Structure 1
Amino acid sequence: MKRYCQIALAFAISAFPISSIQAEELSTPSGKSWVIQQRAQQIGQAGTSAADKEPVKSAEGNFKWAIKPGHQPAEPPPPRPAMNTDREYDWWEQSATKAEAVPKPTSYHRRSNSYATNPDTDPPRYVRRLSDIGIEAFKHITWLDIGFEFRTRYEMRHNDIRRVEGGFDNPFFLRSRAYLGIREIIDPFRGAVEFQDSRVYNNRFPTTDQEYNPYDLIQAYGELYFKNALGEDDRKQNRPLRFRVGRMAYETLDRRFIARNEWRNTTNTFEGFRLNLGREANDWEIDMFGMQPVKRLQTEFDRRNDHLWFFGAIGHWRKWSDIITLQPYYMGQLQTADPNGRTATNQLAREIHMPSLRGYGKIGNWLDYDINFSYQFGTNGAQQHDAYGYTTEVGRNFNYAWKPRLSAFYGYATGDRNPNDNVNNRFDRFFGFARPWSADHYVIYENIKAPKIRFDLQPTQKLGLEAGYSWFWLASSTDRLFDSFDGNISVVRDPGFNRDRTGRSGDYVGSAVELRLRYQLTSRINTTFGYTHFTAGEFVKNRIAAHPDDIVQRSGNTDFFYVEVLMSAF
């Protein structure tokens, strides 16, 4: 890893003495014209989601329709919000631009309207080209990407069921990021480094790598980028080839299997390679990767997990994207047993294969949908692995001033049906995000049945309101509820209180009401207020009652409140 970092840092530093020669001119219309075209298309679609209407900051720092720098030089990417606390819903919108007789944009890409499923950009959304930060002296330096971001969050948790102890916990989380990348000027060679510092204060419980990871690199890579290697698509857009190697933090698909985990205070990252054929704007694209996850070490520099390989190939078919975008994909894990592994799973030799298919789009202007199915097979130690999971969401945006949206979601993932047989049925979420399965992090994509309804409003351009109600059942009453009661992720112990192998504790976990308010103070500062009340079901109540000497006796109901501030330098 040190060699990767040295190469990437030298690569970035060596670019500074190079003169700021303009990169080759874009073959498509200007950024301004392209954005007007994009906006025109959005205006022409009745009932378009707020997720499709995204402003970015101008070079002067004002919030208006402007091009946000992206990684594709031939055509600007869709406009992105300057900041989006945890990327779960893009609710920013600006006033309409007159769109008579404006041509339709050429990009095949359409964003999903489903909640929290649009991955972060590459480079991340807080990054800007140096030419776009509003300083006259830098206006011609288009080859350098730069970004600084700081986030702080206060949480109040009462009787958190992830702990065997009840009472209050009031931690403060701090996360700082900095990004530096170069592109175009010495093509085909490009590269980037991204630094992150994650800390927690006033935490009542022992810290884990979920909260604390100071002074480390989450990205340090070099790449070869060939702009016209694969010719053009039917809309005359170039189809590039990109090969990237080093340390990478990114997310793709609907973020359920590969995610940066923006809510969490620390970030998923990997070391290995990634090969892309085509790009987001094209009618088809293929993304292939082979990586080892990086272990977040709290007292030394992070290093990769030499016992685990994560690999796969993702296809994107966008030819019919006005109706449906299809994403067939395959992912796999190959793990050798680690006798020093922190969890029982780490200590097993495992091989898991997962073919999958996702489809999302719109049924006219009436409904939008997002459906995904994944099947897993392989070996889990001495056991066979046989599991599956699926998610489906349908929603509708109503054409009223406050832009209301109503949606319904259902997610299912198998759990281990029989703890005494030779088959493991527990679905593996790989490296996906936990939110928004449950805002308080009680539920993830394993052993779960989770229906949810959501209602969203955007009263003003700067204010967003969200409300949701969820119900949770275990798919198998004989399997666990993830990390509840000092389970899976505890650094102290895993007492096994989160599983009843007999199934007698029942399968109903509980329900939760989730509320969130977001307000944009300035173009560079976003605030979020959230509250969740969880009402315990029979499973949680029975697990508490079953261990009176170990788990602090309580009803199982919990409260979670937080305030978050996200600031960006540009």
Structure 2
Amino acid sequence: MGGTVRLRYEAIDGQVRPGFNESDDLFSVRTTVFGEYDAGPVRFGAELYDSRAYRADRGTPLGTGEVNTLELVQAYLLLEGGLGPAGAASVQAGRFTLNLGSRRLIAADDYRNTTNGYTGVKLDVAPSKRLGATLFAVLPQARLPDDLPSLLDNEPGLDRESFDTRLWGGFLRLGGLLPDLLIEPYYVGFDERDSAGRPTRDRKLHNVAVRIVRDPAAGRFDVEAEGIRQFGHVRASLAPAANRLDVSASFVHLEAGYSFGGAWKPRLSLEYDRASGDGPGAKFGRFDTLYGMRRADFAPAGLYAATGRTNISSPGLRLEATAGKATDGFLAYRALWAAERRDAFSNSGVRDPSGASGSFAGHQIDARVRTWIVPKLLRGEINAVWLGKGRLLRDAPNAPASGDTIYVAISTQAHF
């Protein structure tokens, strides 16, 4: 048995996203309780999430990423066993969370106040330390309620999964083919259709990808390269009679770093991310990150949530350091462009359909410090972001008439 209670206060000035308060603040509380019973080769687990938000109003960007009250996100059976002389295999069935590969398509987001849950089955097979595979077929849980009045009141409601939304695929892990490199080819499929009271764009997406990784270690260079090709089809809007568009989208992440020795273990890295946007052609080109994480690559969710894995071209520089076992932090800079100038920039919602405002969105500086106030019991965290708005975020027709963006979040998390 175990659990956590996280309290977080966040504030923003110069909101990037149109239609919301220029200045805002939010207080959120997240409580989790996890239990697992070990019955030999079989384990039974369950986890309750209670995510609430306060101080919000109708101008706050509040959604199911912030509020999901009293939800049994996990309730599973896990069967584990050996495979050959040195291998292992497991099958998990029921409700559970997923973190697969780089977590850029499927993740249990931890910075966000709520998480992603799935219902289905997952198979893990590892014949050796160098070879492994994961296969899964799940129904993503739709967090409910999702209307603004209910979210403002933190009303409870049972999340729902159905065959109207499906997610499936497989990851293969190949180690040892090249020195110190992990090669991970994978496929992720996604399919949705309208259900009662929930119109969709009928997304049917296939993602074919490969990732190559050399993990960081003191005194050496590390690399990560990942490419995703996304295709399928999607409706042009939520209207039932909307045209069906073929999808042709892509994502690339490139990263090279060096880890120094010493007590602080600093690591300096160069990174580049490009996720396609939707241009004027007949095909739909905006990359869909599905259930992927945001914080590790781009910036915080919550009140900020302006940058993410869609219609973005962004080189960056990152410095990470660790002060003993208790404290770690990073400082990151990114230059921001829209990959397609006529589409909405990333997750901001700011768009110039004519393209006359250009593609440069600005400069982003992002920092985080975490420390164990009481080891293994109480952890504090500070996140801060400054976004110096570029021409696109200043001059686009729907760009908010505000200055540069400042976002700060302070949190404490207790473990029991």
What is the TM-score when the length of structure 1 is the normalising length?
A: 0.65
Residue in structure 1 matched with residue 380 of structure 2 by the alignment? 527
Q: 2:180 is aligned with what amino acid?
A: I
Question: Which structure 2 residues correspond to residues 535-546 of structure 1 after superposition, within 5 A?
Answer: 535-543=388-396, 546=397
Find the partner of 1:426 among 280, 286, 304.
286
* CA-CA distance at 1:166 after TM superposition: 4.3
Residue in structure 1 matched with residue 49 of structure 2 by the alignment? 196
Deviates more, 1:421-430 or 1:315-324: 315-324
Indicate conservation of the 8 Å contact 1:339/1:347, yes or no.
no
Residue in structure 2 matched with residue 294 of structure 1 by the alignment? 141
- 2:130 equivalent to 1:278: no
* CA-CA distance at 1:305 after TM superposition: 4.2
Question: Which structure 2 residues correspond to residues 132-151 of structure 1 after superposition, within 5 A?
Answer: 146-151=1-6
Residue in structure 2 matched with residue 152 of structure 1 by the alignment? 7
More strand by share: 2
For 1:245 and 1:366, how far apart are their aligned partners in 2? 40
Find the partner of 2:181 among 324, 327, 346.
324
Q: 1:248 is aligned with what amino acid?
A: F
* CA-CA distance at 1:151 after TM superposition: 0.9
Residue in structure 2 matched with residue 138 of structure 1 by the alignment? none
Find the partner of 2:99 among 251, 257, 264.
251
Indicate conservation of the 8 Å contact 2:192/2:200, yes or no.
no
Deviates more, 1:348-357 or 1:192-201: 348-357
Assess, with a 3 A threshold, how the Cα gap between structure 1 residues 362 and 186 changes in structure 2: closer, same or farther.
closer
For 1:207 and 1:255, how far apart are their aligned partners in 2? 24
Find the partner of 2:332 among 465, 468, 487.
468
For 1:542 and 1:178, how far apart are their aligned partners in 2? 47
The CA deviation string for residues 198-232 of structure 1, in whole angstroms up to 9 with x for no partner, is 0011124263111111100111112332x12x313
Residue in structure 1 matched with residue 152 of structure 2 by the alignment? none
For 1:530 and 1:448, how far apart are their aligned partners in 2? 22
Indicate conservation of the 8 Å contact 1:166/1:554, yes or no.
no
Residue in structure 1 matched with residue 150 of structure 2 by the alignment? none
Question: Which structure 2 residues correspond to residues 351-366 of structure 1 after superposition, within 5 A?
Answer: 351-361=204-214, 365-366=219-220
* CA-CA distance at 1:162 after TM superposition: 2.3
Residue in structure 2 matched with residue 214 of structure 1 by the alignment? 69
* CA-CA distance at 1:347 after TM superposition: 2.1
Residue in structure 2 matched with residue 512 of structure 1 by the alignment? 364
Residue in structure 1 matched with residue 239 of structure 2 by the alignment? none
Residue in structure 1 matched with residue 148 of structure 2 by the alignment? none
Assess, with a 3 A threshold, how the Cα gap between structure 1 residues 266 and 321 changes in structure 2: closer, same or farther.
farther
For 1:338 and 1:483, how far apart are their aligned partners in 2? 26
Secondary structure at 2:141 match in 1: strand
Residue in structure 2 matched with residue 175 of structure 1 by the alignment? 30
Question: Which structure 2 residues correspond to residues 216-235 of structure 1 after superposition, within 5 A?
Answer: 216-225=71-80, 227-228=81-82, 230-232=83-85
Larger radius of gyration: 1
Assess, with a 3 A threshold, how the Cα gap between structure 1 residues 321 and 253 changes in structure 2: closer, same or farther.
farther
What is the TM-score when the length of structure 2 is the normalising length?
A: 0.88
Residue in structure 1 matched with residue 410 of structure 2 by the alignment? 563
Indicate conservation of the 8 Å contact 1:158/1:167, yes or no.
yes
For 2:338 and 2:194, how far apart are their aligned partners in 1? 28
- 2:302 equivalent to 1:438: no
Indicate conservation of the 8 Å contact 2:386/2:406, yes or no.
yes
The CA deviation string for residues 282-313 of structure 1, in whole angstroms up to 9 with x for no partner, is 22111001111101113411111432111101
Assess, with a 3 A threshold, how the Cα gap between structure 1 residues 445 and 207 changes in structure 2: closer, same or farther.
closer
Q: 2:188 is aligned with what amino acid?
A: M
Find the partner of 1:456 among 320, 323, 340.
320
For 2:167 and 2:25, how far apart are their aligned partners in 1? 36
For 2:366 and 2:79, how far apart are their aligned partners in 1? 44
Secondary structure at 1:540 match in 2: helix
For 2:103 and 2:10, how far apart are their aligned partners in 1? 24
Secondary structure at 1:170 match in 2: strand
For 1:309 and 1:320, how far apart are their aligned partners in 2? 33
Point out where structure 2 has 5 or more consecutive residues left out of the alignment: 146-155, 236-243
Indicate conservation of the 8 Å contact 1:159/1:165, yes or no.
no
For 1:441 and 1:372, how far apart are their aligned partners in 2? 23
Q: 1:380 is aligned with what amino acid?
A: V
Assess, with a 3 A threshold, how the Cα gap between structure 1 residues 240 and 565 changes in structure 2: closer, same or farther.
same
For 2:115 and 2:121, how far apart are their aligned partners in 1? 18
Q: 2:220 is aligned with what amino acid?
A: W
Q: 2:226 is aligned with what amino acid?
A: N
Residue in structure 2 matched with residue 47 of structure 1 by the alignment? none
For 1:253 and 1:214, how far apart are their aligned partners in 2? 29
For 1:480 and 1:511, how far apart are their aligned partners in 2? 17
* CA-CA distance at 1:375 after TM superposition: 0.6
Assess, with a 3 A threshold, how the Cα gap between structure 1 residues 350 and 515 changes in structure 2: closer, same or farther.
closer
* CA-CA distance at 1:452 after TM superposition: 1.1
Residue in structure 2 matched with residue 404 of structure 1 by the alignment? 266
Find the partner of 1:314 among 140, 165, 171.
171
Deviates more, 1:422-431 or 1:459-468: 459-468
Question: Which structure 2 residues correspond to residues 21-40 of structure 1 after superposition, within 5 A?
Answer: none
Indicate conservation of the 8 Å contact 1:323/1:363, yes or no.
no
For 1:415 and 1:517, how far apart are their aligned partners in 2? 32
For 1:150 and 1:415, how far apart are their aligned partners in 2? 38
The CA deviation string for residues 40-76 of structure 1, in whole angstroms up to 9 with x for no partner, is xxxxxxxxxxxxxxxxxxxxxxxxxxxxxxxxxxxxx
For 1:553 and 1:423, how far apart are their aligned partners in 2? 33
- Runs of 4+ residues over 6 Å off in structure 1: none
Assess, with a 3 A threshold, how the Cα gap between structure 1 residues 454 and 169 changes in structure 2: closer, same or farther.
same
For 1:377 and 1:292, how far apart are their aligned partners in 2? 20
Q: 2:257 is aligned with what amino acid?
A: G
Count of equivalent residues: 390
Q: Once superposed, what is the RMSD of the aligned Cα atoms? A: 2.1
Find the partner of 1:372 among 218, 226, 230.
226
Q: Percent identity among equivalent residues?
A: 25
For 2:67 and 2:93, how far apart are their aligned partners in 1? 26
Point out where structure 1 has 5 or more consecutive residues left out of the alignment: 1-145, 488-497
Indicate conservation of the 8 Å contact 2:184/2:210, yes or no.
yes
Secondary structure at 2:393 match in 1: helix
